[in-house]
Amino acid sequence: MFFGTLASGSSGNAILVGGREGSFLIDAGLPAARLLENIRRAGAVPEQLRGIFVTHEHVDHIRGVGALARKLNLPVYATAAIWEAMEETVGSLPAARRLVVAAAEDFCLAGFNLALIRTSHDSRESHGLLIRGGGVTLGVATDTGVVTPDMRTKFRNCDALIIEANHDSDMLWRGRYPQYLKRRVAGEFGHLSNRQTGEALREWIGENTQKVVLAHLSEENNTPALALKTVVEMLRGHAVREKCARLRIRVAPRHEPHELIVLGEERDAYGVLQRNRMAGGFTAGG
């Protein structure tokens, strides 16, 4: 498996996950042209995309869904409630490209098994994902005001996690957001603080955990250095280092992709992808 964020935060979100049988996006919250550019900058190939999964209907997650799906003829996966809520923004797609997934049932995309994880957010519905394939498990959740019971149990000892660290509570409450917005962000249906994420990671990180990406940082109420420092300090003293010496924690950049993370059996597939790319086997799709 290889994965990485293409952009992360309130100005636009997208995560790329790929392997031997192709790749897919979790959300497409940037204009299509920027998504294509960032996929290539990450070292991946847009022509290998097999679909887009949408977590919820907020515009920072769906801005480019319709345009990208039409351009690359991709299927879009979302629950019925999210389809209803995002219909207008996404625009017209052929019926065969509008796939409805049930929250309680796993489904398959690009050779991976995907299970929806319940999150808590002020959208019609919202979901994280547990992704299995290539011998590894990746847990993904952003846009949630609390760590839900579903997240709590299913993210334990994943090989990798992409998890929201949205704000520093002191910065939020002392900052210049209006009171109603502060309450929204900090509330049960808002976003996770650095400390909420640090606490959850204490429970989740196990001997298999190698990579953690802190995502969806607030531009106003957080900094990458502060998010990282808070989480690392909270993990210190919890024997995390003894449990998993390979663990690396990084922060997802706001506007750019970071270098793709490659785990498990897919190291080979990733090598093939890169060689084909160098040899011009995949061309830039315009």
Residue nearest to Zn ion (CB): 58
Rounded-to-integer distance, Cα 160 and Cα 98, Å: 29
Q: How far is CA 119 from CA 72, 123, 143, in A?
A: 29, 10, 8
Residue 60 vs 159, nearer CB to Zn ion? 60
* C-alpha pair distances (Å), 77 with each of 9, 94, 116, 173, 190: 21, 13, 11, 37, 23
Side chain identity, residue 111: G
Q: Please give the DSSP secondary-structure letter assigned to residue 146.
A: S
Helices (H) and strands (E) in the chain — how many of each? 11, 14
Measured from the CB of residue 59, what is the shortest distance to Zn ion in angstroms? 9
Structure tokens at 91: 């625009």
Q: Least distance (Å) from Zn ion to the CB of residue 69? A: 19
Which parts of 222-261 interact with Zn ion (CB under 5 A)? none
User: Would you count residue 164 as binding Zn ion (CB under 5 A)?
Assistant: no
| Element spanning 39, H or E | helix 32-41
Among 27, 125, 143, 266, binds Zn ion (CB under 5 A): 143
- Evaluated on CA atoms 204, 148, 8, 72, the torsion sign reads positive
Closest CB 143 distance from Zn ion, rounded Å: 4
- Give the residue, chosen from 34, 50, 58, 167, that forms a contact with Zn ion under the rule CB under 5 A: 58
Size of the site for Zn ion (CB under 5 A): 3
Q: C-beta of 78: minimal distance to Zn ion in Å? A: 14
Token output for 97: 């490209």
Distance CA(179)–CA(193), nearest Å, equals: 17
**Residue 123 or 209 with smaller CB distance to Zn ion:** 123
Q: Which helix (H) or strand (E) holds 183?
A: helix 179-186
Of 27, 60, 168, 266, the one binding Zn ion (CB under 5 A) is: 60
Q: Which stretch binds Zn ion (CB under 5 A): 51-59, 95-103, 150-158, 200-208?
A: 51-59
Closest distance between Zn ion and the C-beta of residue 13, in Å? 6
Shortest spacing between CB 217 and Zn ion, in angstroms: 11
Shortest Å distance, C-beta 109 to Zn ion: 21
Alpha-carbon distance of 250 to 36, in angstroms, equals: 23
Residue 190 Cβ vs Zn ion, minimum distance, rounded to whole Å: 9
Q: Which is nearer to Zn ion, 18 or 145 (CB)?
A: 145
| Nearest to 263, CA basis, from 112, 124, 153, 119 | 112
3-class secondary-structure state, position 43 = coil
Q: Which is nearer to Zn ion, 125 or 143 (CB)?
A: 143
C-alpha to C-alpha distance for 164 and 200, rounded to whole angstroms: 11
Q: Of 210 and 222, which has the nearer Cβ to Zn ion?
A: 222
Q: Taking contact as CB under 5 A, which single stretch among the options 139-147, 165-173, 250-258, 267-275 is the one that binds Zn ion? A: 139-147
Binding site for Zn ion (CB under 5 A): 58, 60, 143
